[in-house]
Structure 1
Amino acid sequence: MTRTPSPAQGHLPGLDVLRAIAIVWVMFFHSWVVGGLGPDWRWLSYYGWMGVDLFFVLSGFLIGQQVLAPLSRGEPLRFGDFYLRRAFRILPAYWVVLALYVLVPAWSEAPLMEPLWKFALMVMNLDNDYSRSAFSHAWSLCVEEHFYLVFPLLAWALMRRPAVWKVSVLATCVVVGGVALRSGIWLHDTAAEAAGAPQRNWFVEDLYYPTWNRLDGLLCGVLLATLKVFRPALWARAQAKANGVLMLGLAVMALAFWLTRARVDLMSNALGWPVLSAGLALLVFAGAARGSLIGRWQVPGVGWLAGISYSLYLVHKAVFKQVQLHLGDAIAGLGVAQVLVYGGAALLVAAVLYYAVERPGLRLRGRVLGTRRPPVVARETA
């Protein structure tokens, strides 16, 4: 993440809160790497996979603004600058962690890993073999990279002859097409499994990881950005009701919890994800309002946690495994103390990665791009 802009520049504390919630939620979910943290934490870890969907909505919202803002002013979209900016943002820390997985096998949380070329080309979420699950959480980074590659081109093409109906048709196709595609995959794979097909984790490989199944969150974030950029007056009026939107978002999230309670069934994957993404988008809308309950104050420590969230996402699973190997027996069953040890170790390693690699990479980006600064809409997402 970049340096924290001042309030006048557009820093939104509510988005820091949501990003911090997302990374902590994901970390609780990934406690399965060490066998879980006990029944006391199951209520928090069971739905922790939703933290990644929250990251997708945040990314769609923030990157959407960066792409759409100059287009809305009739300015050319500097594709080279955009892609270079994202490369410096994502790749340095990613490559360092990838090198650890490849060169230091003891670092890994699992014995087998997909081929290196899939990680290098950011396609390990496609045609995935989940029996090779080391560094498997890189799947979401692949989804983000595919979004970075395609969305600016799509936005540029749509803006050549902009029309509300085009955006509406495209959004409808993404949502309806996603429901149909995931339903078809689920029905096909369950039928194949019942017919005696070789056992594999088809839910992860065919449904959960592929980019084409995970567009709902990114779409909802982009639609928020579109509203803010192209209908600023409507955005401002709606922001005045942000607390009501926050309550609505929580209600929609409750519905998403119910729809996805089985997680791997047809209902969860066909309808659960778009409902979840809509609920998260309402929360992001509220987080972007300075007067909302979650956007009003800068909570101590939350901005820092949000700032290192990308590095934390990269390293936390491997760190969890190392803690289990060296301290697992000593801290087992210690409740909150056990959680603090696992979380504290992950924070420490993430901070080292952030200050030693991620921040220098961002400074180098600034020098490469010269004095030109991006439009500041909030802290950049991972």
Structure 2
Amino acid sequence: MQYRPEIDGLRAVAVGLVLLYHAGFGFLGRNDWFAAADIGVDIFFVISGYLITTIILKEMRETGAFSFRNFYERRARRILPALFFVILVSFPVALYILSSSELTAFLDSILYIVFFISNYFFYQQGVQIGAESLSIEPFLHTWSLAIEEQFYLIFPVILLLSARYSPKFTLSLFFTLFFLSLLFADFNTYRRSEFNYFMLISRFWELLAGAILAFLENEYGKIRHQFLNGVMPVVGMSMILWFLLLFDPGPAHPSLTTLVPVVGTALVIAFASREDLVGVILGSRPLVALGLISYSLYLWHFPVFAYFDRTQPAPTNLDKIGWVVLSIILATLSYFLIEQPFRNRRLITAKPFFLSIATVAIVIVGLSFLGEPGKISELTAILD
């Protein structure tokens, strides 16, 4: 697919909002200025739904078929090396910084992370929603990766079955699933807020928003209209900014109000280009550079923030800026040393890639069993 720098810029906006949300910067006696910045995750979901669907439809259009093997290899190369690297690097730090109970929870969580069901784990643990959860679990943020991977397992099957047996109703099916998921999320927003926050069924509609847009573009082409291409990206970014400044979603997320940033994101993707103001800003070098490392930055920022939050009981804004800078440095290194090499099929072919990933996965699973009763005390004694 043709490279669109404005989408990388939109990724930068998303990860920037997530960092603001988790850092909890305080100004004028308030620490909740960015209470709605968690919508950065929702922006990521829309982008992911759009890109994945575009890739699938492009392959089907050009080859007349779809390779699950190639699809999941690409996803594995994109997600696993950097994720596993961050876990391995975090492990010795966790041994020295976390308390016995926290270390047990950490070791339990990495097992669920490997199998992409950490969202279920954190829900079962009763983790509360909010930036204050930073001090609970260094890998809490992987719940969103679990949701995306679960979507990648389910959605291609739905799309291919629909394309084969009822192609005329594929779009109708998408819209039906979109509204059912949205209504489910809104219905449960106060009834089961933690379940609603962490589970795919309540987030499916956000990913489908991007998928629907990709499907429409595949059928009818990208919208080319001078007025709309100039105005709608501004409208979309204004919707995101309006939600960010005026809403404090709290437990009411995701819900019908989350339509505002989700639709805003879809409008930016649908109409922005290198020829309009929003597209030019999002496509600028600093934002594109940040967008390129956004995945590694998302992975690194939470454990960095969580570990420093434990060692600095009353961190200042300057301390938190240092956390952000360190996260960006680590993300940049991960991008060039881990992400890029492992995504290069010529540099690392399929067999050594899967062999190395399987080996590291076994190591991480083995480490997770150190959290069994009695093992933590043994580890503590060894460290002492």
Relative to the length of structure 1, the TM-score reads 0.77
Report what 2:188 is aligned to.
185
1:246 aligns with 2:238: no
SS of 1:241's equivalent in the other structure is helix
Report what 2:335 is aligned to.
354
Identity of aligned residues (%): 25
Q: CA deviation at 1:369?
A: 5.9
Higher normalized helix content (fraction of residues):
2
Aligned length: 335
1:226 aligns with 2:215: yes
1:166 aligns with 2:170: yes
Q: CA deviation at 1:59?
A: 0.8
Q: Is the 8 A contact 2:36 2:245 kept in 1?
A: no
Q: CA deviation at 1:338?
A: 4.5
Q: Is the 8 A contact 2:232 2:271 kept in 1?
A: yes
Aligned residue type for 1:134: P
Q: Is the 8 A contact 2:209 2:262 kept in 1?
A: yes
1:294 aligns with 2:288: no
1:53 aligns with 2:78: no
Q: 1:72, 1:40 → 2: CA distance? A: 56
Say which structure, 1 or 2, has more relative contact order (CA 8 Å, 6+ apart): 1
SS of 2:118's equivalent in the other structure is coil
* Range 103-112 or range 155-164, more displaced: 103-112
Report what 1:90 is aligned to.
79
Q: 2:309, 2:324 → 1: CA distance? A: 12
Report what 1:263 is aligned to.
250
Where in structure 2 are there 5+ consecutive unaligned residues? 128-135, 352-384
Counterparts of 1:96-107 in structure 2 under 5 Å? Answer: 96-106=85-95
Q: Is the 8 A contact 2:185 2:203 kept in 1?
A: no
Distance 1:340 1:187, change over 3 A: closer
Relative to the length of structure 2, the TM-score reads 0.77
Q: 2:336, 2:29 → 1: CA distance? A: 34
Cα deviation 1:117-137 (Å, max 9, x = unaligned): 311110111252144633010
Report what 1:144 is aligned to.
148
Report what 1:315 is aligned to.
300
Q: 1:255, 1:19 → 2: CA distance? A: 18
Distance 1:222 1:186, change over 3 A: closer
Q: Is the 8 A contact 2:171 2:215 kept in 1?
A: no
Q: 2:225, 2:234 → 1: CA distance? A: 14
Q: Is the 8 A contact 1:253 1:280 kept in 2?
A: yes
Distance 1:82 1:353, change over 3 A: same
Q: CA deviation at 1:300?
A: 2.8
Q: CA deviation at 1:39?
A: 4.5
Q: CA deviation at 1:188?
A: 4.0
Q: CA deviation at 1:352?
A: 2.2
Cα deviation 1:235-259 (Å, max 9, x = unaligned): 2334762221123324544665589
> What is the RMSD of the two structures over their aligned residues, measured on CA atoms?
3.0
Q: Is the 8 A contact 1:186 1:207 kept in 2?
A: yes
Distance 1:355 1:262, change over 3 A: closer
Report what 1:213 is aligned to.
202
Of 95, 115, 121, 2:115 maps to 121
Q: Is the 8 A contact 2:182 2:255 kept in 1?
A: yes
Q: Is the 8 A contact 1:68 1:229 kept in 2?
A: yes
